[in-house]
């Protein structure tokens, strides 16, 4: 133990911080969310008694958050079941599996009683995903099983699932929890409710690719579409520490400057950039804003902080480019994905494919990468989970509840 660590421990003994209220944020990325399952599996093995009383999920991360919120047992048991669920999944469990010719024919020409228009509401039909989630997460009524029990026992404080209201354009966070106060911000609101499979389906409804889900009188889609501050729900729910698991690979300067294609940009490259901007980039921007607020608050006495409070953040992310990893499987895809691949063109890092590639080989690989990444970050994770003191500024971030400067 170095001198700095000794000074910090002595300082904390005389100036104890508020009790730790740990939040877990699981971001989006479609099939990439299987990477989060690998990270969580290692956390369960290394820290089986660790508890995340505040769970927030966005897009495909909502599936993982809902799984942790519904299943009983310690973290090790929950994460083992989560990994098993991902290993069982296949494209046919997510969307209707058919040949590319059948898909094109049905999409362009098939009429149904429910759909008077010749085109369907989205490129892929996700009724199989609903059936899969009903088997895995529901009590048979459509509600998320086990959440009420875990809330009553105090093991869980809140489970939040983020969606986008297509009718109003607002980001809506649906929360099931104990003594939760609603919040309203520009284009962002929350509602207290009993969470259902519909909320999870809505949060995972990739725009244009998966159909919107009706909740009440409105239709909802993926929660990442307009979510500029993905850390905000956990902060509103009272977290003063947030562990965020991103599915975005942080490219080096040299990697960022490397061309992904030659000539005019293929549709797949453009679509992948759009998907990244929606689902992956916002977390990094939000973390940067928190870091800047932290720097400002370092210069202010507590009485002048205008409602700001410290929130320690640790972001875990892939050590490899998951989009580039998906390119290894591009020639093996069948059905609609094969047709999309031909239409979109080839690139070195097909990010669009990485979000839709629910093939077992790819999912298994992502789980392995997540597990290995977490294991290699063990010391950093251990310090974050066990030590309630704020770390140096490069790893500590502060978020705002009501003051200016951050969209909490």
Q: What is the pLDDT of residues 20-48, one digit of tens each?
A: 789 999 998 899 999 999 999 999 999 99
In the predicted structure, residue 105 carries a pLDDT above the cut 60: no
Percent of the chain with pLDDT over 70: 75
**Burial status of residue 33 (CB atoms within 10 A of its CB: 0-12, 13-18, 19 or more):** buried
In the predicted structure, residue 296 carries a pLDDT above the cut 70: yes
pLDDT of residue 288: 82
pLDDT of residue 298: 75
pLDDT of residue 370: 97
Q: Return the top range by mean pLDDT from 38-42, 224-228, 325-329.
A: 38-42
The larger pLDDT score, comparing residue 83 to residue 399, is at: 83
Length of the chain: 408
Q: Return the top range by mean pLDDT from 11-25, 73-87, 226-240.
A: 73-87
pLDDT of residue 161: 97
pLDDT of residue 108: 57
Confidence grade of residue 347 (pLDDT, cut at 50, 70, 90): low
pLDDT of residue 119: 43
Q: Which whole number is the average pLDDT over 395-404?
A: 35
In the predicted structure, residue 116 carries a pLDDT above the cut 90: no
Percent of the chain with pLDDT over 90: 47
The larger pLDDT score, comparing residue 334 to residue 57, is at: 57
Confidence grade of residue 8 (pLDDT, cut at 50, 70, 90): very low
Confidence grade of residue 179 (pLDDT, cut at 50, 70, 90): confident
Q: Which whole number is the average pLDDT over 346-352?
A: 70
The larger pLDDT score, comparing residue 267 to residue 323, is at: 323
């Amino acid at each position: 133990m170095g001198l700095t660590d000794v000074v910090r421990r002595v300082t904390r003994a005389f100036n104890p911080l508020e009790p730790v209220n740990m939040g877990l944020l699981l971001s989006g990325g479609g099939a990439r969310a299987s990477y989060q399952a690998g990270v969580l599996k290692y956390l369960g093995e290394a820290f089986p008694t660790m508890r995340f009383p505040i769970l927030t999920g966005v897009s495909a991360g909502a599936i993982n958050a809902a799984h942790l919120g519904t299943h009983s047992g310690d973290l090790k048991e929950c994460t083992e079941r989560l990994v098993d669920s991902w290993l069982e999944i296949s494209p046919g469990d997510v969307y209707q599996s058919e040949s590319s010719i059948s898909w094109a024919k049905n999409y362009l020409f098939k009429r149904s009683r429910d759909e008077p228009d010749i085109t369907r509401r989205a490129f892929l039909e996700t009724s199989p995903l609903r059936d899969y989630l009903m088997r895995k997460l529901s009590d048979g009524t459509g509600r998320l099983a086990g959440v009420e029990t875990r809330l009553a026992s105090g093991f869980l404080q809140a489970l939040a699932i983020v969606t986008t209201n297509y009718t109003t354009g607002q980001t809506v966070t649906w929360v099931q929890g104990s003594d939760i106060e609603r919040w309203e911000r520009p284009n962002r609101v929350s509602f207290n409710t009993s969470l259902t499979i519909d909320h999870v389906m809505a949060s995972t409804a990739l725009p244009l690719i998966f159909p919107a889900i009706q909740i009440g009188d409105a239709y909802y889609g993926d929660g990442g579409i307009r979510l500029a501050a993905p850390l905000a729900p956990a902060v509103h729910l009272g977290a003063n520490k947030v562990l965020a698991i991103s599915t975005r690979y942080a490219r080096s300067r040299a990697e960022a400057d490397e061309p992904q294609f030659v000539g005019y940009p293929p549709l797949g490259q453009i679509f992948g950039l759009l998907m990244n901007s929606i689902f992956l980039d916002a977390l990094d921007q939000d973390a940067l804003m928190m870091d800047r607020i932290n720097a400002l608050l370092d210069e202010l006495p507590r009485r002048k902080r205008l409602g700001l409070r410290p929130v320690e953040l640790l972001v875990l992310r892939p050590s490899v480019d998951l989009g580039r990893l998906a390119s290894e499987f591009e020639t093996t895809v069948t059905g609609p994905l094969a047709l999309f691949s031909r239409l979109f063109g080839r690139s070195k890092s097909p990010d669009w494919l990485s979000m839709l590639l629910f093939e077992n080989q790819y999912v298994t690989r992502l789980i392995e990468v997540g597990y290995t990444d977490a294991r290699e970050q063990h010391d950093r994770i251990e310090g974050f989970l066990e030590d309630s003191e704020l770390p140096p500024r490069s790893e500590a971030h502060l978020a705002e509840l009501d003051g200016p400067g951050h969209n909490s």
